[in-house]
Chain A
Amino acid sequence: MQSSDRRSQATTSPSRFRRDLPVTALVHDARAGCPIAFEHLYRRFAGQVASYLRWHRASDPDGLTNDVFAQVHRKLGGFEGDDRSFRSWLFTIAHHRMVDDRRRNSRQPMLQGEVGVEDTSADWGDVEEDAFALLSHESVRELLGVLSPDQRDVVLLRVVADLSVEEVARLLGKREGAVKALQHRALASLRRHLENQVALV
């Protein structure tokens, strides 16, 4: 079977969303004007984009996510690359949208929130499970407020968007060494903050 045949067949079933379809095939079909292929891309990535925007306290994460994908749709014809490249390209658009939104709102994140985590002295596995269960999204959001905007960008792009150091560096226009230094300082700062929280328990 020809590769193009496989790609076309990948998106002929609109009723069932499949996560195993190759992104490159979906991009190919979406560029050819197939709305089903684009909807597959949306379903695959929109939740992750919305989470990224939500952790950044965007004013309307769901609406911005729609805007991001509208821009993706308009620019898809100029995109060339593989699955990883698409993710990186998508989050570049999402990040720029977030920065625009941040500028518009000039809103500072809250600082010094209480983080509900337990003391650590037992085995790693069970204690990590307990700590995970006790964390609310709001407490994590408040904790992110201890970071500088640059540090927060790097942590969220690495963890929520699942981008590599190299991809984050390219997206932010920084050197890889600078990204590594930012992520190191960010995590050290978060750990110190959490250490103090634990000491208060």
Chain B
Amino acid sequence: MSSTELTGTDAERLLAGEVARPRPDLRGLTELAAVLRVLRSTGRDAPPPPMRAPLRRLLGVDPSPG
């Protein structure tokens, strides 16, 4: 186990999606950046789920009753 830790600046840069070279004393940083990239990509690229009948009726675009 390493004695060094992630700094607040490291955390802020990772959350901002900034790619920086890894600190050699801090293993797992590359993998952490990859995890955040997966999360970020699902936020930006996910298709919208189908709009269901109750919401369509609320908008007045679904002619089917009840």
Contacts and interface: CB of A to CB of B under 8 A. Distances in A.
B26 to A, nearest CB: 7
Interface in B23-51: 26-40, 42-51
Given A48-B46, A159-B43, A124 B30 contact: yes
A143 B42 contact: no
A198 B31 contact: yes
A34 to B, nearest CB: 9
B31 A197 contact: yes
B46 to A, nearest CB: 4
Contacts of A128: 19, 30, 33-34, 37
Main secondary structure of the interface of A (DSSP, over half): helix
A137 B39 CA distance: 9
B22 to A, nearest CB: 6
A160 B42 CA distance: 7
Nearest to A17: B48
Given A35-B60, A137-B38, A188 B11 contact: yes
Contacts of A38: 59
Contacts of B22: 120, 124
A172 B50 CA distance: 29
A61 B21 CA distance: 36
Given A48-B46, A66-B52, A180-B8, A194 B59 contact: no
A48 B8 CA distance: 26
A18 B28 CA distance: 39
Contacts of A161: 43
Contacts of A118: 31
Nearest to A68: B55
A74 B54 CA distance: 13
A134 B34 CA distance: 9
Contact of B52 (A63, A125, A143, A191): A63
B47 A47 contact: yes
A48 B34 contact: no
Contacts of B10: 187
Which 4 pairs from chain A and chain B are nearest by CB? A195-B28, A46-B48, A47-B46, A62-B49
Contact of B42 (A51, A69, A127, A184): A51
Contact of B32 (A63, A190, A196): A190
